[in-house]
Each structure stands twice: as structure tokens, then as C-alpha cells.
Amino acid sequence: MSALQDLPKVVTDLMLSELHAQFATVSGEGVPIDTPMLMFPSDDLSIISGATGLAYPVKAERARRNPKVGLLIEGGVDEPVVSIAGICAVRDADIQANLIRYLSETAHYSVGVSRPWALTRQAVWYWARIIMEVSPKRIMWWENRAAMDRPPNVWNAPADTVFPLSDAAPAARPSAASKWRPHDWREFAQPFVEGGVPGHLTLLDAEGFPLPIGVRKVRMTDDGFELELPLGVPWTGWGSATFTFAGCATFVGPVSGSGGATQLVVERMLPVHPMVEDPGQVLEPSDEVRAALLDRLDLELARRGLPRPAVPEERPAPTPGALRRRDREARAKQV
């Protein structure tokens, strides 16, 4: 049994049943980058898994190069907020097995669930996955969002914990990233700010783990953003950061400030994938996007000496965890 059983039940219940997490990795330049992901933890919570598409593998490449990653799991207003510093093992030696696993964990509540499976299964560019398995090294939590002005509660993994290693990297060089249309960051950010879309700021902690945290208020300035943060943030200093609106718009730059007031000066905005900008392109991309996704998928498969994986004619049966997460999502929609 995992030592995580010592965590409060309200915390483990959230970790086992929540669909979404903020997942942060560190770039080669040392920039912490946060993107949302669907998560599917093991029953004992010793591993919290997520995935990225083989056709857009940059998160996994970052995690293999630097396995220090961060997760943020947020429930409702009165539920815990959980910040995890973990060690990531990248699994991409068997893409066919990954595809089946990802379908079993997510296909009963994620994209295309209301569409005929005969259509949804055609999106091999989406279902072909690299799995990222995160073993918690340190878990911090607050009882709820209102408690985040206080220091968090802390759980540390036992000192003798052995963290799994990633699959060996393919010998050939990674495929080049697709060149998606650039945007003016101010014009792109404005609808998110005006619409009150939740934002997350990510910085490195003292041990080099990239840890996202939710922002309470956002205001645009001439050169970036003014952010109101809870006082109990899990880092102790400033530096290079990213600020993102649900992964749909992500801005990079230095931050400074004191207390809960922070200023981020935008140096650049990260490219926006067409499937993020327009979720309809996940299953029905334009001809241009489809061709780019399939080209990169095939290049990444060739690096690994693998054929295109086969998406089964029937959805694989859901795991117990998938049913648990689906039921939580359904209850949340009824509120």
C-alpha cells in the first residue's frame, strides 16, 4: 500500500475522482510551462498518469529531459487544492498499448463521447498517445481555496523511495514542431481577461519543480499582467514564469512583486495549437491541420520503429477509475 494512505480522505478522494490537472514541465531554457491535461491515477495514488499526443510530443520530450514536473488539482470552491512536485517517467515504447490504455481511461467522458464511435475512432492523431507517469515526491494541500493565504499542509515521500525511469529515448532526433499561425498577444489575451477565464501562474520552486497555482484576479497592463495570488504560494522567489488561461493562451516572461500582488512582463506568447484554439479540430481538423498532424505522427512512429496504432472498432471497457471520474463530472454538471 502506498504511503499516500496517510493523506486526509478528502484529499485522496479528490485526487482519485477529479478529471483535470494542471501539468507543468521545464523547457530546455529553464522556463516552467503549464498545460492542462486529463489525469488517471493508480488506485493507490503512487502514480498519477496523464498523456500527450504522439503528434505533438513536446511535453513528453521536456519531461524525459528533466523529470521534475508539477501538478495542480483543484476541486470546487469548498474542496481541497492539491499541489504535487513529482518525478515523471515517460512511456512511449508501445504506442499501441498506450492507445488502448488511454481509451480505457478517457474515451467514456472526453472528446467525441456523444458522437458515433465509428467517426470518433478515425482520429488516430488524437488517440495515439505518450503516457506520462508522475510519482509524487512532495504533496502540498490546502483545505479549500479560502485557506490558501496560509502555508500548505505537506506530505513527503519516504526517503528511500525509488522513482521509475522513463523509457529510453528514440535514437533519431525528434520531429520539428509544426508552424502554427502567430497571434498578437494583447488581442489574444483580452477576451480571456474580460471573460473571467481562470488563469494559472507557474514558477520553479527551490528544488527546481515547476508548480502552477491559481490566480485570483487578472488585469492587463501595457506590457503584461497584474495578478492577485494567494499568499500561500508553493514557491519562495520570483524568476521566469508562464501564465496561462486554461492552456488556451500561454505567456512567458519574468515576474516580480510582493505579497499577493505580482507583475508579469510578457516577453512572448507560446504558439497556439489549432486543436486548442478550435476544439472542433480534434476530431474534424482542416485538411491542412490533418496533414500536419499525420505527418508528425508518422515521423514520431518512424523514430521508434513502430507502425501506426490501430484504433479498435469498439470502445474499450472503461476502468473503474474512468467510471469514478465520469460520475464526478456528471454530478458537477447537475449543480
176-234 pLDDT, tens digit each: 887 888 899 999 999 999 999 999 999 999 999 999 999 999 999 999 999 999 999 99
Please count the other Cβ atoms lying within 10 Å of the Cβ belonging to residue 172: 12
User: For strand 68-74 and strand 48-53, is the pairing parallel, antiparallel, or unpaired?
Assistant: unpaired
Q: Find out whether 42 and 84 touch, Cβ atoms under 8 Å.
A: no
What confidence category does residue 335 fall into, taking pLDDT thresholds of 50, 70 and 90?
low
Residue range 50-73: average pLDDT? Answer: 97
Contacts with 291 (C-beta within 8 Å, 6 or more apart), sequence order: none
Q: Where are the domains of the chain?
A: 3-306
Category of 334 on φ-ψ map: left (φ > 0), alpha (ψ -120 to 50) or beta: alpha
Q: How far apart are CA 200 and CA 124, in angstroms?
A: 30
Helix (H, G, I), strand (E, B) or coil at 60: helix
- Give me the mean pLDDT over the 276-286 stretch: 86
Q: What is the CATH code for 3-306?
A: 2.30.110.10
